[in-house]
Structure 1
Amino acid sequence: MCRVVDLKQAVLAKNDEAARTLRAELAARGTTVVNLLSSPGSGKTALLERELLLARERGVAVAALTADLATENDAVRLARSGVPVKQVLTDGLCHLEAGMLSRHLDGWMPDDTRLLFVENVGNLVCPASYDLGESLRVVLASVTEGEDKPLKYPTAFGLAHLVIVTKTDIAKAVEFDEDAFRAHVQQVNPGVEVVLTSARADEGVGLLLDRALAVGAGATVHAPVMAGRVDGHLDHHHGAHDHGHDHGADHSHDHDHGHVRPHRRADAAATQTR
């Protein structure tokens, strides 16, 4: 008698287990993982660079791992912040997976790292399906992408713990409808916080760092409604299972810089920005 095996579910179940293990290991050493998802060109790297600089000024030990199909451009930019940065080249793979992340962290990330920011591959489809062991999943969208972005990518936005709007300094020029965007976000992810930022105009810079520190200090993270509706073996940290992929070979390049000691005071959770 033949047995039909759902390869997609098997691949993702393996990722789930790796993510749970990684989350537990990092939590034991006091590290909080922040998974950043967005389309290409959202301004994710520009905002992250500002957040890393601010973290260093505050004395918070942070590190960043950035993934791209090709080039080390983002790592070079982020390394200017002076915190440990690592580039992962996926050679065509459209997302990171928990096992990949674990391998790249092994022997690289400083022991006292309080926050690890993971800049996922620029893509709102595949990355949404893979838990990386994060405690905070953030989806970013720029004002240039249109107010209906959450409706076009309901899995990515529907499983976010936090939604960030970027490039608000040009919102008026591109006729961005903030109310419509917020309504569409709430349609797919009721109750999730939406914050407005502009790395260029210094609007909202520090909100991402504040939220991440609050989660690391034990603040309750938003629980997306969609998380309870996706495939059975998922928990609230993860996305719906849209795709299964085999890994290609991946390569990494380190851009290491001296890191600072963590500030031991627990940062209070900032109030929501509406």
Structure 2
Amino acid sequence: MCRVVDLQQAVLAKNDQCARRLRTELGALGTAVVNLLSSPGSGKTALLEAELALAKERSVPVAALTADLATENDARRLARSGAPVKQVLTDGLCHLEAHMLGAHLEGWLPEDTRLLFVENVGNLVCPASYDLGETLRVALAAVTEGEDKPLKYPTAFGLAHLVVVTKHDLARAVGFDEAAFLAGVRQVNPGVEVVFTSARDGEGAGVLLDRALAAREGGTVHQPVMARQLATERAAYGYDQEHDHAHDHGHAHDHDHGHEHAHAHEHPHEHAHAHGADAHQPAGHEHVHHRDGAAAR
């Protein structure tokens, strides 16, 4: 009898094992990883540059690793903050993987680094499938991209610990429907905090840094409902050989989605990566942060 083997599932399981090791090793050094996911042109580089500069002002040891298919443009921009920055060129690969991150950190990451910001490849599909050993996963979307992004990319937004809206100063000009966006986020990831930012006028400045530091210090981190569901599904399949007590990992398969990229990685369907912290906020508890820092529910 022939046995059908899901090779992609095996690849993702191997990545999770590597991510667990990386999380443990970095945790022992006092370093937390913040994984930033968004579409190209969302403004995450501008936001990250401002957060890195603020960290330097506050004397918080931070570093950044930015990934792109080509050019070192983002690394040059981020380096203006004064923080240690490294560019990773994926040579066509549409996402980072845990072993890639670990290899690039060897001999480079300063020992006193408290936060390592990873600017993933601009893509809301492939990067969502791969755990990088992060403590905080952040999904970003610009108001110029439209309010339906969370529903179009449920895996990326559904597995985020934090959602950041960028270019909020342009919301009125582009007719951004804030209520519809929040409803979409609530549908795929109940209870996740949504922060509105603008690198141009400083709205939301420091919120990302504050949330990352709080997560590093063991503060409450939102655990997505999707993450818990996927962890249960994966356990039912019996291929989770190790258990990470701080994070649950899983992968979902959406058979309606097709995606291909170079480097011999074929995705016949979308894969979802699940992860979350020990503590989580109750489902339906939504936080929205605007310019004045007040939370609206």
Within 1, Cα distance between the matches of 2:252 and 2:102? 21
Question: Which of structure 1's runs of 4+ aligned residues deviate more than 3 A?
Answer: 233-248, 270-274
TM-score between the two structures when normalised by the length of structure 2 = 0.81
Partners of 2:88 and 2:116 in 1: CA distance: 14
Q: Match of 1:236, as an amino acid? A: D
1:215 counterpart residue number: 215
Q: Which has the higher contact order (CA 8 A, sep 6+)?
A: 1
1:177 aligned partner = 177
The amino acid across from 1:119 in the alignment is E
Q: Contact between 1:134 and 1:237, CA under 8 Å: does it hold in 2? A: no
Aligned to 1:21: 21
Q: Once the 2 structures are TM-superposed, how far is the Cα of residue 247 of structure 1 from its aligned partner?
A: 5.0
The 3 A distance-change label for structure 1 pair 201 and 68 is same
Contact 2:92 2:262 in 1 (8 A): no
Conservation of the 8 A alpha-carbon contact between 2:71 and 2:89: yes
Q: Structure 2 vs 1, CA of residues 238 and 137 (structure 1 numbering), >3 Å: closer, same or farther?
A: farther
Offset at 1:74?
0.3
- Confirm or deny: 8 A CA contact 1:135 1:237 kept in the other structure: no
Following superposition, the deviation at residue 240 of structure 1 comes to 3.9
Structure-1 residue corresponding to 2:7: 7
- Superposition pairs of residues 116-155 of structure 1, within 5 angstroms: 116-155=116-155
Map 1:34-53 → 2, pairs under 5 A: 34-53=34-53
Identity rate, percent: 75
User: Is 229-238 or 77-86 further displaced after alignment?
Assistant: 229-238
Paired residues in the alignment total 253
Instruction: Give the secondary-structure state (helix, strand or coil) at the position aligned to 2:14.
Output: helix
Structure 1 residue 2: deviation in Å?
A: 3.9
Structure 1 stretches lacking a partner, 5+ long: 249-269
1:236 to 236, 248, 255: 248
Residue 193 in 1 paired to residue 205 in 2? no
Residue in 1 that maps onto 2:101: 101
- 5 Å-filtered alignment, 1:245-260, equals none
Report the 3-state secondary structure (helix = DSSP H, G, I; strand = E; otherwise coil) of the residue aligned with 2:95. Answer: coil
Partner AA of 1:191 in structure 2: G
In structure 2, what residue type is equivalent to 1:180?
A
Letter matched to residue 154 of structure 1: P
Closer, same or farther in 2 for the Cα pair 1:237/1:273, shift >3 Å?
farther
Q: CA deviation at 1:3?
A: 3.4
1:59 corresponding residue in structure 2: 59
- Sort the Cα spacing of 1:238 and 1:90 in 2 relative to 1 into closer, same or farther, 3 A: farther
The range that moved more, 114-123 or 5-14, is 5-14
Counterpart amino acid of residue 209 in structure 2 = L
Moved more, 233-242 or 130-139: 233-242
- Residue 212 of structure 1: SS of its match in structure 2? helix
Shift of residue 177, structure 1, vs aligned partner: 1.2
| TM-score between the two structures when normalised by the length of structure 1 | 0.87
Mark the runs of 5 or more structure 2 residues left unpaired by the alignment: 235-239, 265-288
| Mapped partners of 2:178, 2:262: distance in 1 | 39
Q: Is the 8 A contact 1:8 1:244 kept in 2?
A: no
Deviation at 1:133, TM superposition (A): 0.1
Question: Aligned partners of 1:128, 1:239: CA distance in 2, in Å?
Answer: 10
Tell me, in whole angstroms, the C-alpha distance in 2 between the residues paired with 1:221 and 1:239.
20
